[in-house]
Amino acid sequence: MMNCIRGRYVVAAVMALLLVTAVPAGAAEPEKEYESFDSGNFDHSTIIDNEWFTLKPGMRYIWDGTAYDEEGDEEPHSIVSTVTDLTKEIAGVRTLVCWDKDIADGELEESEIIFFAQDNDGTVWLLGEYPEEYESHEFKATACWIHGIKDGKAGIIMPAEPKLGMPSYSEGWAPSVDYTDRGLVYQMGQKVTVPVGTYEDVLVIDESNNEVPGAHHLKYYARGAGNVYVGWRGKKTDQETLSLIKVEKLSDEELAKARDEALKLEKHGYEVDKDVFGHTKPSERVSANAIAQ
């Protein structure tokens, strides 16, 4: 599948890493602090069919694994990601809305709506996200960023043709909320086994940011399946491990419930984040068939 997973990264210890490993010695092209974004290059932006990162409305993905708490102890962690049948226009580009739930030790820790679009070349972009953090079931804070508002700039979630040796890329740029994630094609040709199956020729993207120097998340992508595993390397700080354990197509009733939850988040976002999220247009429901065609 896709990957609507953003803020946290999780992995179970059920995976085998084999085959050829190759790390680029250097980039042939200069790296950019943030990406150049052309809103005119998105003719069918909600059709996200990149072979490494595919989003289909009505699909739900569940990852399960462990995370480290502030004391360095492991705790159960899972992420539930749903591709809704909502779209949201951002800076002239219609995005597909995903809704993620981040559950730590059995308690909802974060819920967010995320906005993706695919350009005419096949690159998948992240145009922003509205996350809510909770403590004891109560809203605590948000660190929303949206392309084109304040310092928010869209980033690349999956290149059209990821290759070893290509320069790293910004996955989004909003330093005012400490969002400076970068991606780098780290490995190709891996083999991964997770509860939903075994995948060959897996792509590994190394993710890092300015806020935690020396810490890296490793996301494993399989063609047609998307993000199946997440690991880490480097500094053991705020790290998690996760394996894809379930992929399911929602019923019409289940999709309607997910849509309602995403719209509740959006409504609250307009109330608590008027400076950024308050400047966005409301999401609109589009039939799953219309989005996928």
Task: Break the chain into its structural domains and give their ranges.
Answer: 39-279
Sign of CA dihedral 180, 186, 189, 192: negative
Taking a C-beta distance cutoff of 8 angstroms, is the pair 75, 271 a contact? no
| Burial annotation 174-211 (CB, 10 A radius, 16+ → b, else e) | beebebbbbbbbbbbebbbbbebeebeebbbbbbbbee
Token pair in block for residue 187:
């490995």
pLDDT at 208: 92
Taking a C-beta distance cutoff of 8 angstroms, is the pair 60, 250 a contact? yes
Chunked mean pLDDT (size 10), the chain, 293 residues: 44 35 47 93 98 98 87 87 98 98 95 98 98 95 98 98 97 97 98 98 95 90 97 79 97 97 98 98 82 55
pLDDT at 29: 62
Work out the burial of residue 159: count CB atoms within 10 Å of its CB; fewer than 13 is exposed, 13-18 middle, 19 or more buried.
Answer: buried
User: SS3 for 22?
Assistant: coil
| Fold entry, domain 39-279 | YmcC-like fold (2.40.360)
Residue type, 285: R
pLDDT at 214: 85
> Phi and psi dihedrals of 9, rounded to 5?
-140, 135
